[in-house]
Amino acid sequence: TLPTIYAVTPTYTRPAQKAELTRLSHLFMLLPHLHWIIVEDANATSPLVTGLLERAGLEKRSTQLNIKTPPEFKLQGKDPNWIKPRGVEQRNLALTWLRNNVDTDRHSIVFFMDDDNSYSTELFAEMSKIERGRVGVWPVGLVGGLMVERPYLSEDQKQVIGFNAAWRPERPFPIDMAAFAISMDLFIRNPQALFSYEVQRGYQESEILRHLTTREKLQPLANACRDVLVWHTRTEKTKLTAEEALLKQGKRSDG
Ligand code: UDP
Ligand code: MN
């Protein structure tokens, strides 16, 4: 039987949220061995997320959590989005939940799954191959100023020997959050592994991975890291000038 994949998704209220989460929920409908941990960046869970999980029939294999990013770390309206780390608090809450709730006698996998990327179902078939005690890696499309960021492999294709990253290639693990998934037992064996606000831009992946693995121990997947099965797409900020004019008249298009 396939290991359960715990997909951890931080999410926050904005006009495109329902569209993003609907796409993900329909992907989950195709993948029965996934468990979705959706962590809202809010003081309470929302009916929007609860309703979405219900409509997709995911009540029994999802967990709805919430924790608000402290205001000093929250992005302000016009801030470029790289100025502060995003999803730190939410991913850490999910890790606490996992450490307390997962039956570690059974092999399972943890994947940090942002809500706006594009994922192929084939990616999850690859993740299922991750061995106990290991971190699986694969290419990610449309990230770091490249069409594809990917690991370089040894001649026998069993080991990662480098990365093609152009952006901050000096990072210990110069890869995107979507480029790896982790055997759950590593989080139990390394209780200090957490995300942090105290890291430079682009170092969140290295921050978590340095506690869990080394480059040499990474498990290459996706056809020896040749296939691209996930893309770091980003949704443009929704323009709502006409909606704002309506709101001033006490009306709304979605009311
Ligand atoms: N996120 C969040 N709160 C925020 C901003 C982002 O929970 O204030 C979530 C977001 O929904 C996504 C993840 O954190 O799942 C990464 O954010 P984003 O996609 O904006 O980051 P980027 O793609 O720019 O790295
Ligand atoms: Mn994103």
Amino acid at 120: S
Binding residues for Mn(2+): 116
CB-facing half-sphere around the CA of 231: CA atoms within 13 A:
7
Note if the pTM is more than 0.90.
Answer: yes
Compute the distance from residue 10 Cα to the ligand 1 centre, in Å.
7
87 lines ligand 1 (CB under 6 A): yes
SS3 104: coil
Kindly name the residue from 89, 126, 149, 205 that is annotated as catalytic: 205
115 lines ligand 1 (CB under 6 A): yes
114 lines ligand 1 (CB under 6 A): yes
Backbone dihedral angles phi then psi of residue 63, each to the nearest 5 degrees: -135, 125
pLDDT (tens place) for every residue of the chain, 255 residues total: 899 999 999 999 999 999 999 999 999 999 999 999 999 999 999 999 999 999 999 999 999 999 999 888 776 777 766 667 899 999 999 999 999 999 989 999 999 999 999 999 999 999 999 999 999 999 999 999 999 999 999 999 999 999 999 999 999 999 999 999 999 999 999 999 999 988 889 999 999 999 999 999 999 999 999 999 999 999 999 999 999 999 999 999 998
Compute the distance from residue 106 Cα to the ligand 2 centre, in Å.
31
Compute the distance from residue 112 Cα to the ligand 1 centre, in Å.
11
HEC states along 105-156? CCCEEEEECCCCCEECHHHHHHHCCCCCCCEEECCEEEECCEEEECEEECCC
Q: Does residue 205 have an active-site annotation? A: yes
